[in-house]
């Protein structure tokens, strides 16, 4: 209601999005409260009628399931969990094997997004030398995308018989997955023009003659932190710069959130490491079939389905484990 509220459009829109999200949550709890009150009244009226009792019991079961779902959302404790997500995948050491594994993970998250009805867009990809990708960045847009995908942050390990080895030997490959909430322009991250260095270069890999001949690819470096973001997937240098800035903002926001979490961890006497040494999940295709999450102990014997985007059970297990740790 402040008269100057809309003077700053970016801030106003951010506040309105937060208000809409909070209103949605409150409305769901109010609806649950109202349905429960109605059932209490019905239970008194139909106490002697067996047919109506069965109907009331069905409604009670529905409410119980709704309550479970809403309690599960308490795992989304961060103010950024409701946001869209920026997901980056980096192939580990191992050349073609790891680059192929990175592309398999890329497909897995695109399929998972499709299953959930999220919109996924590949913002940038660096092709592998022979197959796969060296790295890729994906924007995943949908309600609580960042909250769900935070379970995927860390190192993913694949064990399989190599399709690239003439001896068909067993190989172990690694890839790092980064998950960052999307940063809103000029709200969460302040980037001064003097703090960035913008470089242009020719795109590598496939992309047509225009991309090969012109310096349309863009790399942006945030000088105070040394953080870099690049994009070479679009024909236009302007579009590549816009996407690189979007990725850079998300990286800087994630750095700030990690800094806060480290401070909290020091106070609580625990240490969190999401770097290369933190292997969170193994996907074993040989000599047996299994996917195991090393943080929760949850495992499944259907790696093909998991790699096709059937991730929800792993995500749920991780988020429920977080609920038990929150104080």
Work out the average pLDDT over 50-62.
81
Count the Cβ atoms, other than its own, within 10 Å of residue 222.
20
Residue 216 domain-assigned (yes or no)? yes
Mean pLDDT of 272-279: 59
Question: What's 166's domain CATH number?
Answer: 3.30.70.1660
Mean of the pLDDT values across residues 172-192?
Answer: 82
Residues 110 and 177 in one domain: yes
Q: Does a structural domain hold residue 211?
A: yes
Domain boundary among 75, 97, 120: 75
pLDDT tens track for 254-267? 888 888 777 766 65
CA 81 to CA 73: how far, in whole Å?
A: 10
- Same domain membership, residue 32 and residue 135: no
Please count the structural domains in the chain: 3
pLDDT higher than threshold 70 for residue 268: no
Q: For residue 274, what pLDDT is reported?
A: 44
What's the pLDDT band for 168 if we cut at 50, 70, 90? confident
How many whole angstroms separate alpha carbon 256 and alpha carbon 188? 10
The number of C-alpha atoms within 13 Å of 167 and in the hemisphere containing its C-beta is 3
The beta strands (E) that lie in 82-153 are given as 85-91, 119-127, 133-141
160 and 209 both lie in a single domain = no
Does the structure show a pLDDT above 60 at 273?
A: no
What 8-state DSSP symbol labels residue 309?
T
Residue with tokens 């192939």: 91
Asked, for residue 4, whether it belongs to a domain, the answer is no
Mean per-residue pLDDT of the chain: 84
Label residue 205 by pLDDT band (50, 70, 90): low
110 shares its domain with 179: yes
Measured distance CA(220)–CA(200) in Å, rounded: 9
Per-residue CA distances from 243 to 61, 123, 229, 230, 302 (Å): 46, 7, 9, 8, 36
Residues 150 and 257 placed together within one structural domain of the fold: no
For residue 307, pLDDT beyond 70: yes
Q: Determine the pLDDT at residue 202.
A: 76
Whether the pLDDT of residue 75 is over 90: the answer is no
Give the pLDDT score at 265.
Answer: 62
Residues 304 and 165 in one domain: yes
Question: Does the pLDDT value for residue 195 go beyond 70?
Answer: yes
pLDDT in tens, 86-123: 999 999 988 899 999 999 999 999 999 999 999 999 99
Q: What is the mean pLDDT of residues 280-299?
A: 96
Which pLDDT band, with edges at 50, 70 and 90, does 209 fall under?
A: very low
Residues 106 and 179 in one domain: yes
What pLDDT shows up at residue 22? 83
Tell me the DSSP string of 229-284: EEE-SSS-HHHHHHHHHHHHHHHHHHHHHHHHHHHHHHHHT-----STT-EEEEEE
Percentage of the chain modeled with pLDDT above 70 = 87
Question: pLDDT, tens digit, for every residue of 4-35?
Answer: 998 888 778 778 877 887 888 889 889 999 98
Question: Residue 225 is part of which domain span?
Answer: 193-263
Domain membership of residue 229 (yes or no) is yes
The answer on pLDDT for 208 being more than 50 is: no
> Are residues 165 and 107 located together in one domain of the fold?
yes
Q: Are residues 178 and 300 in the same domain?
A: yes
89 and 178 in a common domain: yes
């Amino acid at each position: 209601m402040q008269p100057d509220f809309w003077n700053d459009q970016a801030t106003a829109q951010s506040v309105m999005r937060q208000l809409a999200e909070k209103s949605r949550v409150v409305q769901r709890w109010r609806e649950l409260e109202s349905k429960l009150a109605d059932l209490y009244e019905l239970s008194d009226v139909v106490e002697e009628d067996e047919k109506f009792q069965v109907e009331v019991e069905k409604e009670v079961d529905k409410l119980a399931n709704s309550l479970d779902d809403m309690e599960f959302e308490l795992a989304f404790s961060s103010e950024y969990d409701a946001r869209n997500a920026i997901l980056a995948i980096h192939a580990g050491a191992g050349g073609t094997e790891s680059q192929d594994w990175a592309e398999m993970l890329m497909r897995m998250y695109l399929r998972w997004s499709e299953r959930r009805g999220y919109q996924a867009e590949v913002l940038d990809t660096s092709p592998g030398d022979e197959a796969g990708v060296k790295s890729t960045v994906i924007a995943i847009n949908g309600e609580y995308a960042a909250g769900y995908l935070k379970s995927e942050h860390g190192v993913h390990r694949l064990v399989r018989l190599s399709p690239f080895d003439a001896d068909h030997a067993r190989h172990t490959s690694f890839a790092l997955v980064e998950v960052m909430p999307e940063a809103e322009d000029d709200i969460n991250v302040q980037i001064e023009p003097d703090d960035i260095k913008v470089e242009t270069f020719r795109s590598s890999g496939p992309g047509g003659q225009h991309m090969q001949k012109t310096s349309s690819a863009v790399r942006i470096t945030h000088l105070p932190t040394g953080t870099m973001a690049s994009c070479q997937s679009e024909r236009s240098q302007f579009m590549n710069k816009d996407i690189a800035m979007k990725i850079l903002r998300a990286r800087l926001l994630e750095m700030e959130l990690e800094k806060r979490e480290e401070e909290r961890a020091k106070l609580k006497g625990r240490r969190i490491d999401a770097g290369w040494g933190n292997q969170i999940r193994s996907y074993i295709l040989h000599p047996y079939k299994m996917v195991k999450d090393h943080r929760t102990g949850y495992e499944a014997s259907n790696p093909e389905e998991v790699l096709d985007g059937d991730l929800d059970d792993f995500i749920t297990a991780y988020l429920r484990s977080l609920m038990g740790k929150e104080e």
